[in-house]
Amino acid sequence: MNSFDLKLPSPLQELQEALLADASVQVLVKRDDLIHPEISGNKWRKLKYNIAKARNEGYAGIVTFGGAYSNHLFALASLGRMAGIRTVGVVRGDELTPASSPTLKHCTEQGMELHFVERGEYRNKEKGVYFSKLVTQEARLLLVPEGGSNALALPGVAEIIDECEAGRKVPDWYVVAAGTGGTAAGLLSRGRNVMAVAALKGADFLRDEIAKWPETATGTLDLQTAYHFGGYGKYNAELLTFIKQFEDRHQIPLEQVYTGKMFYGLFDLIKRGYFAKGSTLMAVHTGGLQGKLKL
Ligand SMILES: *Cc1c(COP(=O)(O)O)cnc(C)c1O
């Protein structure tokens, strides 16, 4: 599995700045963004055992779903090419083409087959026409849900914990950006305390989504829903300024969809004295830099 030139374990980087010293909290960043330039942090973690299953059980390939800017599609396309596994992407929006976004261009270049489906149909994707045509009739394709969050994603994500805690104590909190909540679920599955900063608006439903995984029952979830900046993919000047300043201080690139919001929320909570003095916070950089806005 590790023939792909992946940087594992990914580095751990401690943030040094006065704000953290004043608040007496230690922030460590798990640099999963450095795992691979194309296979973004948590998407590698979630795909690892799915790819292994497709290989070991003789599947003809993997079919999955996403939008025109999906980090998941982007990562799977590269991984499929590198592993020699056929990949099929079902994309939301029948008005789109393989040239509609840099992400879709990349997927096409990597050899992913793209199918563009009308939005109403996409909503029923797992039951819909494309699913039956692609999976049942045509060939044995392994179905991986949108965002890559399935039962096989959890043990892959949990390996972050093994890497972070090798030779050090259990952090008080893992902090992670949340879209589907699969990454948070993987960390919770090991009984850790997990703060999930939602990248989308009205994210209270994520609590139930995450609780659907029985494995998560042992961990403690702190779901932060106030740092969405207007909704999924939305941002404003304040967020972009935060990202720029963070990058200048720490030489860690962030993007505006997930990790920028996560670090913004984390720093805001630290400023407000949310964390007990002496806390160790393990912020997981989940990657996604392919979608970074060019400023
Ligand atoms: C997909 C993604 C997430 C969201 O992960 P979930 O497991 O869906 O919650 C977070 N950060 C980045 C960079 C992502 O690409």
CA gyration radius for the chain?
19
Q: Which of 45, 71, 243, 259 to mutate to test the pocket of ligand 1 (most atoms within 8 A of CB)?
A: 71
pLDDT at 109: 98
195: number of Cβ within 10 Å = 26
pLDDT at 252: 98
10-53 pLDDT, tens digit per residue, is 999 999 999 999 999 999 999 999 999 999 899 999 999 999 99
Which pTM does this prediction carry?
0.95
CA 137 / ligand 1 centre spacing (Å)? 31
75-109 pLDDT, tens digit per residue, is 999 999 999 999 999 999 999 999 999 999 999 99
Size of the chain in residues: 295
pLDDT at 46: 98
CA 180 / ligand 1 centre spacing (Å)? 7
Taking 60 as the threshold, does the pLDDT of residue 111 lie above it?
Answer: yes
Do 62 and 28 contact (CB within 8 A), yes or no? no
Q: Which of 175, 205, 258 to mutate to test the pocket of ligand 1 (most atoms within 8 A of CB)?
A: 258
CA 99 / ligand 1 centre spacing (Å)? 24
142-175 pLDDT, tens digit per residue, is 999 999 999 999 999 999 999 999 999 999 999 9
pLDDT at 238: 98
Type and span of the H or E element at 47: helix 41-56
Per-residue pLDDT band for 123 (boundaries 50, 70, 90) equals confident
Q: Where are the alpha helices (DSSP H) in 153-236?
A: 153-165, 182-188, 205-211
Atom of ligand 1 nearest to the CA of 288: 13
Atom of ligand 1 nearest to the CA of 186: 7
Q: What is the Cα–Cα distance from 5 to 34, expressed in whole angstroms?
A: 11
CA 42 / ligand 1 centre spacing (Å)? 6
Per-residue pLDDT band for 3 (boundaries 50, 70, 90) equals low
pLDDT at 127: 67
Type of residue numbered 46: K
- C-alpha separations of 98 from 38, 47, 52, 111, 263 in Å: 18, 23, 28, 11, 32
Six token digits for residue 287: 């990657």
CA 22 / ligand 1 centre spacing (Å)? 30
Question: Closest Cα to residue 40, out of 255, 283, 193?
Answer: 255
248-266 pLDDT, tens digit per residue, is 999 999 999 999 999 999 9
Type of residue numbered 45: R
pLDDT at 40: 85
Taking 70 as the threshold, does the pLDDT of residue 128 lie above it?
Answer: no
54-72 pLDDT, tens digit per residue, is 999 999 999 999 999 999 9
Atom of ligand 1 nearest to the CA of 180: 8
pLDDT at 157: 98
Q: Which of 34, 42, 79, 259 to mutate to test the pocket of ligand 1 (most atoms within 8 A of CB)?
A: 42
Question: Treating both helix axes as pointing N-terminal to C-terminal, what angle do 41-56 and 153-165 enclose, rounded to 10 degrees?
Answer: 130
pLDDT at 104: 98
CA 179 / ligand 1 centre spacing (Å)? 5
Beta strands in the chain (DSSP E): 12-14, 26-31, 61-66, 86-92, 113-117, 141-143, 173-178, 193-198, 220-224, 280-285
Do 49 and 156 contact (CB within 8 A), yes or no? yes
Average predicted confidence (pLDDT) for the chain: 94
- C-alpha separations of 262 from 187, 200, 227, 269 in Å: 16, 11, 8, 11
139: number of Cβ within 10 Å = 13
Nearest alpha carbon, ligand 1 atom 13: 288
Type and span of the H or E element at 240: helix 237-250
Supply the DSSP symbol for 146: G
pLDDT at 138: 59
pLDDT at 254: 98
Do 187 and 194 contact (CB within 8 A), yes or no? yes
Q: What is the Cα–Cα distance from 200 to 215, expressed in whole angstroms?
A: 24
Taking 80 as the threshold, does the pLDDT of residue 137 lie above it?
Answer: no
pLDDT at 129: 59
Q: What is the Cα–Cα distance from 146 to 161, expressed in whole angstroms?
A: 24
Do 228 and 204 contact (CB within 8 A), yes or no? no
Residues with CB under 6 A from ligand 1: 40, 42-43, 71-72, 147, 149, 177-183, 258-259, 286-288
CA 82 / ligand 1 centre spacing (Å)? 22
